[in-house]
Structure 1
Amino acid sequence: WIHPPLRQAWFLTGPTSSGKTTLAIAVAERLGAEIISLDSMAIYRGMDIGTAKPTGEQRAQVPHHLLDVVEPTESFSVSSYVLAAHSVAEDIRARGKRVLVCGGTPLYLKSLIRGLFLGPQADWEFRSAIESYLADHGGDALRQRLSQVDPLLAHKIHPHDHRRMIRALEVAKVTGQPLSHWQEQFETPADPMDFPVAVLQLDRAWLHQRINQRVEAMLTGGLVDEVSGLLTQHGQLGRTAAQAVGYREVIDHLNERTTLAETTVLIQAHTRQFARRQEIWFRGLKELKPVAVTPESPIDELADSIVDIFTAHEKSRDDTGRQADGT
């Protein structure tokens, strides 16, 4: 039920539009590493412009993994990502290369450095009974039922997130412990000696400027056509993909709910809000080592400084290991 952290890897993260992709390539080239994407939306095929996926040229420079994994009509859980990341990392190391994990999805990052409670297999009979209960009694009654077995989680889950409520009830029934109990096992920060994590930090005004410029570039670069093509191909996007920032706003535009100018402003605002949420998440992860990025920061110097962080970390860890061994 529990998946361990991903060790023997370096991590590079930061808010959206902070320049992670370009910097990761420079770092990977210096370290002889391949890159595992840490992006919950880049796993969808065809969602290229709005997720700012690495270009073909960039992928030719350094191999990238866990991009274009599933169709945008499919779901891809955190546990699916964690299992895939471990498998890819093992393959990279088997080929004599190093592993650099790069992206901005905080939940993915936390799950890799602290481990993840995968949970028991679904109890379909119990789940069916709970779904019938929901249909008969409504969401408020379902939440009240959850509060009796897991009050902490019942308080946290959105009142309309019935899927998570049902899963929480299922876990409590199968394991004999509330889901919040299992989740708390992964709230303790990992030993910073085990996980070299560099997080890019930018002045907020400059970050917002970069976000606004990127959104404009995405729209002039064909984002509307990309979304239109996906809808033509698939009919509609899956629940998760359709809520991706940039895609949900363009879908509204294609449905004539907003003008292109209004769509641009909305995507910019929602992306800034997303960056703010990312920064809040990052502050809660004590394992992270901040790297200041300014408009004057040359890529080569930034890459060298991150490599220094990673190599110093490895040296310190090796020295600690030798001391523990008495050598």
Structure 2
Amino acid sequence: MSDSKQADLPPVICIMGPTASGKTDLAFQLSDHLPCDIISVDSALVYKGFDIGSAKPTSEELAKYPHRLIDIIDPSESYSAADFCRDAKREIAEIRSRGRIPVLVGGTMMYFKSLLEGISPLPAANAEIRAAIEAEAEVSGWHHMHQLLAQVDPVAAERIHPNDPQRLIRALEVYRLTNKSMTELTQVKGETLDGKVLQFAISTTERAELHQRIELRYNIMLEQGFQAEVEQLMQRADLHENLPSVRCVGYRQMWQHLNGEFDFDEMVFRGVCATRQLAKRQLTWLRGWPNLTWLTTNDENNLQQVLQQLNYRG
């Protein structure tokens, strides 16, 4: 695309940050002030029926502030960064075609990174290959599968823990589909976004405050019926603990509790700890992120800072 055509495109606004930092509230404020449409960048919100435990906006909020890429797949299915990039680029193009501004909001940093830096040409998931890998693991164990990965992709094996079946399956699947390692393929980058992209990260100034917000939100989820939501999901014979959807933070701990692995109080403790660990990983990503403007949770000037950088006349 020529420089003049890129300059005519409405900008893309990215709102990133750790869980419970206030990303969604800022996106709502932007919607009140700009001709924009929100695109969710969250690996849990894509799943239908994963509502309370994922902190999905309420039906009332979604009616007022529609989000794209929410409730798009069944929890029995997988959804990769490549899937996200394909879908997000389609939505961004459609929003821009109407002269409106795409606002991408969420905390799945791999999705943001893949979209902004270009994603490697990795193959789509293959149900038959995945089933074969899982069947092999049932017989030989995941440590054996990790050893197999180390033989063909030692760099990935160093990065992936033997007790992480989701990522082990993907790395082995990529090799068996392409006869090339994931490490080799990820060194090749795809297309990036055209036009102006503004990137913001929002978080608290103190870690203790973020931890308090996480614990408060987790308890609110429990009050809203999170346990009943997971109990209903467990009625489905096709859902199990090793699926990417069930491994989402919060859902995994509740699932294990309902399976009798530990009591309610331990589930709450583990769920809050896992959410804090997620926030820590998100912040680690962001601290090394280029071209990023930091905002502070609950700062009344956040909206103004975004609008000033935007300098957009639609």
TM-score range with shorter-chain normalisation? Answer: 0.7 to 0.9
Note the C-alpha offset of 1:122. 7.8
Higher alpha-carbon deviation: 52-61 or 8-17: 52-61
TM-score, normalised relative to structure 1: 0.79
Note the C-alpha offset of 1:163. 1.6
- Please say if 1:199 is aligned against 2:181: no
Note the C-alpha offset of 1:12. 0.3
Note the C-alpha offset of 1:138. 7.1
Q: Partners in 1 of 2:227 and 2:309 — Cα distance?
A: 40
Q: What is the number of residues matched between the two proteins?
A: 298
Residue matched to 1:214: 217
Structure label with greater radius of gyration? 1
Residue matched to 1:153: 156
The amino acid of 1:310's aligned partner reads: L
- Please say if 1:231 is aligned against 2:234: yes
The amino acid of 1:214's aligned partner reads: R
Residue matched to 2:51: 48
- Please say if 1:164 is aligned against 2:170: yes
Alignment check: 8 A CA contact 2:12 2:196 kept = no
The amino acid of 1:292's aligned partner reads: T
The runs of 5 or more residues in structure 1 that have no matched partner are 1-6, 316-327
Q: Partners in 1 of 2:30 and 2:156 — Cα distance?
A: 40
1:257–1:107 CA distance, 2 compared to 1 (3 A): same
Alignment check: 8 A CA contact 1:146 1:168 kept = no
Q: Partners in 2 of 1:139 and 1:52 — Cα distance?
A: 32
Secondary structure of the residue aligned to 1:232 is coil
Note the C-alpha offset of 1:167. 3.0
1:40–1:134 CA distance, 2 compared to 1 (3 A): closer
| 1:1-327 matched pairs, under 5 angstroms | 8-120=11-123, 146-147=149-150, 149-160=152-163, 161=165, 162-170=168-176, 173=179, 178-186=181-189, 194-202=196-204, 203-233=206-236, 236-237=239-240, 239-294=243-298, 297-298=299-300, 301-311=301-311
Note the C-alpha offset of 1:53. 0.9
TM-score, normalised relative to structure 2: 0.82
Q: Partners in 2 of 1:278 and 1:171 — Cα distance?
A: 30
Q: Partners in 1 of 2:126 and 2:215 — Cα distance?
A: 46
Note the C-alpha offset of 1:275. 0.5
Alignment check: 8 A CA contact 1:195 1:287 kept = no
Secondary structure of the residue aligned to 1:184 is coil
Q: Partners in 1 of 2:268 and 2:135 — Cα distance?
A: 42
Q: Partners in 2 of 1:231 and 1:126 — Cα distance?
A: 25
Q: Partners in 2 of 1:252 and 1:123 — Cα distance?
A: 28
The runs of 5 or more residues in structure 2 that have no matched partner are 1-9
Identity %: 33
Alignment check: 8 A CA contact 1:149 1:172 kept = no
Note the C-alpha offset of 1:141. 6.6
The structure in which a higher percent of residues are helix is: 1
Higher alpha-carbon deviation: 157-166 or 196-205: 157-166
